[in-house]
Structure formats: C-alpha cells, structure tokens
Amino acid sequence: MAFRSAMSMTFLSLLLLLLAVGSNAGGIAVYWGQNGNEGTLRETCATGNYDSVILAFLATFGNGQTPMINLAGHCDPYSNGCTGLSSDIESCQAEGVKVILSLGGAAGSYSLTSTADARSVATYLWNNFLGGQSSSRPLGAAVLDGIDFDIEGGTNQHWGELARFLSAYSSRGKKVYITAAPQCPFPDAWIGDALKTGVFDNVWVQFYNNPPCQYTVGDVGNLEDAWNQWTSDIPATKIFLGLPASPEAAGSGFIPVADLKSKVMPIIKGSDKYGGVMLWSKYYDDRSGYSSSIKNDV
C-alpha cells in the first residue's frame, strides 16, 4: 500500500506539474497603426493570431497641448477621418481581441507637468476613448479596452498618477486595462516608478534595441537575467517578451523562430508572470509571418 501511495503521489505531482506548464500558455500582442500598408484593424484581428492589438499612437498630449492621435496612413484625425475605425474596433472585440490605445511612442510630443495635468489627461482619455462621453471621440463610439504607456521621452514624472487615475475608472463598469512597453534595461528610465504602482495588467518589455539585456545568437544569458528581474520586481499581472517581428523592425534584438522556440521560450515560460510575446509591429509581422510561426509555441 505504501508503494502504491508513493506511486500515486508521484503521478499526482507529475500531473500537477503538467497542468501548471499547460496553464502558462501565453498570447501574442501586436502594435498596429504606424504603417498604412499593414492591412486594416479588422483584418488584423481576423487573423486569429493576436490576443491584443495596440493602436499606435496618441502621440501628442499633456502640458496644455491639444491631444492628437497619429495612425500614419490609416486615417486623417484632422478631418475626423479615424471615426470609421469604430466598427473595426467592435469587430475585434467580438473576436475576443482587446484593443488598447498606446500613449507616446518614440517621436511624440508629450509630458505631464503636474498631478492636475495627469488627472486632466485621464479625464480626456476616459471621455474620448473609454467609457465616458464626448462629442468629439477620435475613433468614434467604440469603447476601447485600455490604455498603453509607451513612454520614451518627455520626463519621468506623473505617469504613475495617470495610471492610477485611469485604473480607477474600472469601478464604473467595464475594466480598463493598463499596459506598458518599457525598455529592458531595469528600471525603465521613463516609467520605472509608475510600474511600481501595481495597477498595470500587462507589461510588454522591449527586449530589442537594448544590447545589454537582449538575446544574441547563441547567448540567452543577458535576456534571462533581465527577464528574471522584470518578473520578480514588477508588480504586474503578466510580463511579455517584446520582440521585433522581423530583422528590419528594429536595430537589434530579432530572435530567429528556431532560437525562440528552443532556447528562449523554455526559460521565460517558467515564470508565473509569463504572459506571452509582444511584436513590433503588424507591418513587419505581415512580411515575416513571425506570429504564425510562433503562436502554437507561445
């Protein structure tokens, strides 16, 4: 009986381990909006490859500026030309894909000058993109699922306050997802403090254009060290591995599919906070087929 009990316990332990590994299945998030040749938002969601699509970018806001969205060749916000995206957004959501608006980007004009400024921007975002009311909603009536912080300039002040203000709107009904795309050197120079607030749901860390913490051919050590720091020190629900979808999508950091599957995924999937992979961007993914190649392994 003792032997059988030990065998049963071993089997149970193995089963629980397999279940734990299975439950660590992740998803793919992708940035869309900075190239008019990447297909429509509706087409992007219809691929079935993505769990989240991040609209890039609300590039101008804060410090008294009139907020302005920039979706490159997709539509002209100056003539109210982006409101037609509303039906695409709702189509994505009907497919179970979260649609999130990204603030910032590498070339935007943005900063927050005070707590009051952060509150004002949060109110604007709520009324114009989330569940509030405005007569001038840039993307039409559709209610987005959340707000992403891709802060790569300005100052490092008041982003945590903005995140808290936005998160508080979840109490009004539909959850407002708060996400971020910091650089992999830890802590992030711009939103390192904001990420300590604990209100972030998904953090897609940019493991590219940052040689000290990204993968290099045959060497996963730097990436592993950075990944372990992010997953252990940031109080977010899920951490994602942010990658370029093709070698052309970034200056450095592209991981060939075979290397990702054999060398990188076994390491990062060990974390309870593992959420999946983020790709920059849909345009480059179209050309490389990267998401299709990795989605069964993510």
Q: What is the 3-class SS of 196-233, one letter each residue? A: HHCCCCEEEEECCCCHHHCCECCECHHHHHHHHHHHHH
Q: What is the pLDDT of residues 139-194, one digit of tens each?
A: 999 999 999 999 999 999 999 999 999 999 999 999 999 999 999 999 999 999 99
| From 38, 95, 152, 248, the catalytic residue | 152
pLDDT above 60: residue 214: yes
Query: Which CATH number covers residue 238?
Result: 3.20.20.80
225 lies in a domain?
yes
Q: Is residue 240 part of a domain?
A: yes
Hey, what amino acid is at 17?
L
118, part of any domain: yes
SS3 for 110? strand
Give the model confidence (pLDDT) of 60-70 as tens digits: 999 999 999 99
CB atoms within 10 A of CB 246: 19
pLDDT in the model for residue 6: 43
Is residue 17 in a domain?
no
Residue 30: beta bridge partners?
A: 53, 279
Cα–Cα distance, 205 to 181 (Å, whole number): 5
Within a domain: 11: no
Distance CA 249, CA 257 (A): 15
249-294 residue pLDDT tens? 999 999 999 999 999 999 999 999 999 999 999 999 999 999 999 9
Domain for residue 136, yes or no? Answer: yes
Is 251 within a domain?
A: yes
For residue 255, what are its two tokens? 């991981």
pLDDT band at 8 (very low <50, low <70, confident <90, very high): very low
Q: Count up the domains in the chain and report the number.
A: 1
How far apart (Å, rounded) are the C-alpha atoms in residues 226 and 232? Answer: 10
Q: What is the mean pLDDT of residues 107-115?
A: 97
Q: Is 210 contained in some domain?
A: yes
Residues spanned by the domain of 275: 25-294
43 labelled catalytic? no
- The share of the chain scoring above pLDDT 90, in percent, equals 91
Buried b (16+ CB within 10 A) or exposed e, 147-161: bbbbbbebebbbbbb
Query: Taking the alpha carbons of 236, 239, 245, 249 in that order, is the dihedral positive or negative?
Result: positive
Q: State the maximum Cα–Cα separation within the chain, in Å, rounded to a whole number.
A: 78
